[in-house]
Structure 1
Amino acid sequence: MPYFVYKITPPLELTHIVTLEQYQEARAQVRALRQTGESGVEYRMIFANQAGEAEKLLATPRDERVIGED
């Protein structure tokens, strides 16, 4: 399965940048894009079967992460 790199701008506008087969290449691409320092822009990498599935996963709100139970 490939790695998809997306640019996310408010309000949740997804722009596909590149599709890569190797994790290391995709990680390097995302890190380089994040160095541009654009405000209000987020770059994300996602592992999925196809672009439609990747966009669906990115558009789904994630639950808050629970570190420990009180």
Structure 2
Amino acid sequence: MPYFVYKISPPRQLEHLATVDQYQDARATVRGRREQEPRETGVEYRLIFARQQGEAEKILSTPRDERVIGED
């Protein structure tokens, strides 16, 4: 299965940047993009492992639940 690299712009607009077979290459691509992007833009770069591009976009567009650490 390939790795898909995405640029996520507010408000959750996905832009497919690359499809890579090797994890190390995908990770290097994402890290390079993150270094070039100013933090105040709110743009994220994500890498996702999926069978096909449609599945990757579905996973990335689904909001994640807030992570709860410990009990109150």
- Structure (1 or 2) with the greater helix fraction: 2
Provide the identity percentage. 69
Give aligned pairs, total: 70
**Counterpart check, 1:31 vs 2:31:** yes
CA distance in 2, matches of 1:37, 1:60: 24
Aligned mate of 2:64, from 50, 62, 65: 62
Residues 15-65 of structure 1: per-residue CA shift (max 9 Å, x gap): 000000111111111000000123121100000000000000000000111
- What are the ranges of 5 or more consecutive residues in structure 1 without an aligned counterpart? none
Task: Give the alignment's TM-score, normalised by structure 1.
Answer: 0.93
Tell me the C-alpha RMSD between the 2 structures: 0.9
Cα deviation for residue 69 of structure 1 reads 2.2
**Counterpart check, 1:4 vs 2:1:** no
Q: Secondary structure at the match of 1:62?
A: coil
- What are the ranges of 5 or more consecutive residues in structure 2 without an aligned counterpart? none
Cα deviation for residue 10 of structure 1 reads 1.1
Task: Give the alignment's TM-score, normalised by structure 2.
Answer: 0.90
| Residue equivalent to 2:50 | 48
CA distance in 1, matches of 2:16, 2:35: 18
CA distance in 2, matches of 1:67, 1:24: 30
